[in-house]
Chain A
């Protein structure tokens, strides 16, 4: 069973549907025991970093996620959920993240040519940087759907794939059992479903 952590941010209908589509058992929950009893965890998220991490902490779900990740359970953050896995974010201030991945979240503004629109919205191609289970069923240049204005920088060895948008933008990260996608796999057609399918499998 896969737990999609529900902490009151955004709509999880499409995400839950996409897992059902690939035949995975999924539960949308804010219950800590239920999260602990699942064998994989998805951390979703939309909106602003500060609000989201505050909501996660208010319910104490941050500690559950950190301890489960440290025990070796597979966890994947999606969009803002991926950003929260990092050490800190500079979105409207400075906020501490969950610290499961090293690196920080910074604005695209000023880092990409002014002619490019922000947010980065639309389908963009993936470029692979290192091997990861998540890439098992997809290929270089496959497109996925992005919607974001901030991105992860200094990811070092966890960087799996990037997208080109005036500069290399972090798209997929993995460090051991901790995974993240900046884009929305649940909105990225068959490519996205194939990434979720690979996440649902076990590491060989």
Chain B
């Protein structure tokens, strides 16, 4: 059967990975290529590269790095950050990305998902949503989680999937950074309304949090995290061994 995926997310600014500590055998922890290779060699099932650069020069540097990563690392690569038009899809796909993650770009132009899905296929389009509870309702936040759009997150995700998004990344602002576990309640709501892969993001602090995620939500497809992997708090190999011991099907 299909395995549950473990996905490290790398934030890239001006060609360098933001935050991280040294791993054994890794000379340059901020090198996207070295870090990507390290994760790929150590069991990551997929990598997400998030471009947090704002400048044009930084963007060019990002695509150069992406090209280098894609020429050396042979696992699926998802790219996000600054994706506002179909031309942006084209720009990163040409550099070797397999999937493109859209967040604010789809909020600004809800037609972007359908347009991109028709051109590149649903499997290529990932909708990434930052959501937070406001008065008991899950709301979509934009601008890196700072601005409440007022949109209902569950309805928004359903709309995006109906428009052609082939995968959903749900980042719970409520659990993000807290390291007390994924937002099971919010994820469950999303899993109830869509039939495409759902990737859980926000809240992982320990191996136990991933076990809880996959045990409580057997239909969730993947767990994504950044800092716990970058700071070596959780090693992907150990994580996958523990998941396997707990009866969760993973690629070892």
Contact = CB atoms under 8 A, between A and B. Distances in A.
Contacts of B5: 122-123
B133 interface: no
Q: Classify the interface of chain A: helix, strand, loop or mixed.
A: mixed
A123 B251 CA distance: 7
Interface stretch (A30-38, A113-121, A153-161): A113-121
Contacts of A123: 2-3, 5, 45, 251
Contacts of B67: 13
B123 A119 contact: yes
Contact of B3 (A21, A122, A190): A122
Interface residues of A, number: 32
Contact of B70 (A13, A146, A192): A13
A189 B40 contact: yes
Interface in A13-45: 13-14, 17-18, 20-21
A177 interface: no
Interface centre among A14, A146, A164 (most CB of B within 10 A): A14
B2 A13 contact: no
B75 A189 contact: yes
B208 to A, nearest CB: 23
B197 A122 contact: yes
Interface in B75-101: 75-76, 93-96, 98
Ordered nearest first, which 3 A-B pairs have the shortest CB separation? Answer: A143-B251, A17-B71, A123-B251
6 contacts: A17-B71, A18-B74, A21-B71, A21-B72, A123-B5, A147-B123
